[in-house]
Structure 1
Amino acid sequence: MVEITELYKSFGKNNVLNGINLKISEGGIFAVLGPNGSGKTTIIKSILGMVIPTSGSIKVFDTDVNKNSDYRYKIDYLPQIANFPSNLKVSELIKMIKDLRGATVEDKNLIEKFKLEPFLNKKLGTLSGGTKQKVNIVLTFMFNSPIIILDEPTTGLDPISLIRLKELIEIEKASGKTILITSHIMSFVEEVADKIVFILEGKIYFKGSIAELKTKTNQKDFEHAIANILTENHA
């Protein structure tokens, strides 16, 4: 479904990606993990065509992302920071995105699920960070695309909204979708991810299940297993 081959990306003298090879198959939840600056967001933006790699190739549904942008209509994306127009009302933003993307399947149910009805006529610039993130989630999940990319989706969410998000992710997984997540919250990753990819200094150091990572690092819990990778590579 997503195939990345020998991906390199440099920003000036800063080598962010150093030969990434990664295949993400259809269906399931994949978490891309790594410390700040490891290249997680650069990989995601490269998949979306928002960053042009220095070299290498990315294929989505067997389409080279540099040669045809139509594949993007098959991806729903939740950015880490949602820069909404502050003067727009929530309802106006939802309508605008619907007009751009076409018919949706779940916007009303999602608005109800995340208790956004009282905010529909409020301007986005007046909302708290957590409420903006709920709007961000609605805009992402209201379309029925086969791939969903979530960059730090838990940011600013209260405990109830976090439960709703996890329920939503499980529903989408059950429908056969492929979900790609980045997150710094290890408990969240452990709860939802089928496989993880750990990136350090622009290279993949591990790909597999959390159970496999624990076995490989001889650690009983996930956070210590991740810490073990970091310690080994900075010893």
Structure 2
Amino acid sequence: MVKVKNLYKRFGKLEVLKGIDLELKGGNVTAILGPNGSGKTTLIKSILGLVVPTSGEIYVKGENVRKNWNYRKYIGYMPQIAVFPENLTLKELINMLVDIRKEGYNPNMKEEIIEGFKLEKYMDKKLKTLSGGTKQKVSALITFMFDPEIYFLDEPTVGLDPISSSFLKDKIRHQVERGRLVVLTSHIMSEVEEIADNIVFLLEGRIYVTGAVAEVIQQSGEKNLERAIAKLMEKGYNA
């Protein structure tokens, strides 16, 4: 669904991405991991069209994304920190977004998310009055209710209580079972180990390791993903 070929990105003299080659297929959850400054945010924003690469190509469902915004209709993006128009109510925000985007809107999905997150009582409340955790639920609602084929989820469970976190993870797995591609970032390795099928580990702008979660753990000789990633980082920095 997403293919990245020889991708470079420079910000002035700083080279952030250094020849990324990557193919992401539907029907799985891929976690893009790496320490701060590794390039993972720049990679994701390049795919989303929020950053223009210095060179290289990106394809989404076979469409080259360069100077092409049409492909975004296939994508749902849940940022780590969402910013909403504060004076709108949740109901007004939903209606506005449905009116703007229209394509892909799935009212049944919307109702499932509202019910699962227990958002009914917030529908007539101003967005500025909502807590951080509730805003995170709203961000998930907006992402899922347009039923995209590709999801980019940045730290999706941050601020969620255990019940809401479990509900969101179940929705993610359900989308994967429908053949969707889910790409996520998270600093919670136990969460990645729980829901991700594959990982792409970036280090200093390059793909250092990629593969199935179970294989990466096994090859590291460690007992869980957190320890495996720590070993990868230590090895990479000492190389």
Give the shorter-chain TM-score range: over 0.9
Amino acid at match of 1:56: G
Cα offsets for 1:15-47 (capped at 9, x unmatched): 111111101122211110111121111111111
State the shift of 1:112 in Å: 1.1
State the shift of 1:169 in Å: 0.5
- Secondary structure in structure 2 of the residue aligned to 1:31: strand
Normalising by structure 1, what TM-score?
0.97
State the shift of 1:165 in Å: 0.5
> Which residue of structure 1 lines up, in the alignment, with residue 48 of structure 2?
48
Amino acid at match of 1:104: N
> Which residue of structure 1 lines up, in the alignment, with residue 225 of structure 2?
222
- Secondary structure in structure 2 of the residue aligned to 1:130: helix
- Secondary structure in structure 1 of the residue aligned to 2:124: coil
> Which residue of structure 2 lines up, in the alignment, with residue 203 of structure 1?
206
Alignment of 1:79-228 (within 5 A): 79-102=79-102, 103-105=105-107, 106-228=109-231
| In structure 2, distance between residues paired with 1:36 and 1:158 | 25
| In structure 2, distance between residues paired with 1:144 and 1:222 | 30
- Contact between 2:136 and 2:159, CA under 8 Å: does it hold in 1? yes
- Contact between 2:5 and 2:22, CA under 8 Å: does it hold in 1? yes
Q: Does 1:64 align with 2:64?
A: yes
- Secondary structure in structure 1 of the residue aligned to 2:168: helix
State the shift of 1:84 in Å: 0.8
State the shift of 1:104 in Å: 2.4
State the shift of 1:218 in Å: 1.7
- Secondary structure in structure 2 of the residue aligned to 1:211: helix
> Which residue of structure 1 lines up, in the alignment, with residue 26 of structure 2?
26
| In structure 2, distance between residues paired with 1:84 and 1:37 | 27
State the shift of 1:135 in Å: 0.3
Amino acid at match of 1:17: L
Normalising by structure 2, what TM-score?
0.95
Cα offsets for 1:183-232 (capped at 9, x unmatched): 11111110111111001111101110112112322212211100001111
| In structure 1, distance between residues paired with 2:12 and 2:164 | 40
Q: CA RMSD in A?
A: 1.1
Amino acid at match of 2:27: G
- Secondary structure in structure 1 of the residue aligned to 2:38: coil
- Contact between 1:98 and 1:104, CA under 8 Å: does it hold in 2? no
> After the TM superposition, which of the residue ranges 215-224 and 72-81 deviates more from structure 2?
215-224
Cα offsets for 1:62-83 (capped at 9, x unmatched): 1110142111101111112101
Unpaired runs of 5+ in structure 1? none
State the shift of 1:88 in Å: 1.1
Amino acid at match of 1:125: K
- Contact between 2:26 and 2:176, CA under 8 Å: does it hold in 1? no
- Secondary structure in structure 2 of the residue aligned to 1:179: strand
Unpaired runs of 5+ in structure 2? none
- Contact between 1:28 and 1:173, CA under 8 Å: does it hold in 2? yes
> Which residue of structure 2 lines up, in the alignment, with residue 3 of structure 1?
3
> Which residue of structure 2 lines up, in the alignment, with residue 12 of structure 1?
12
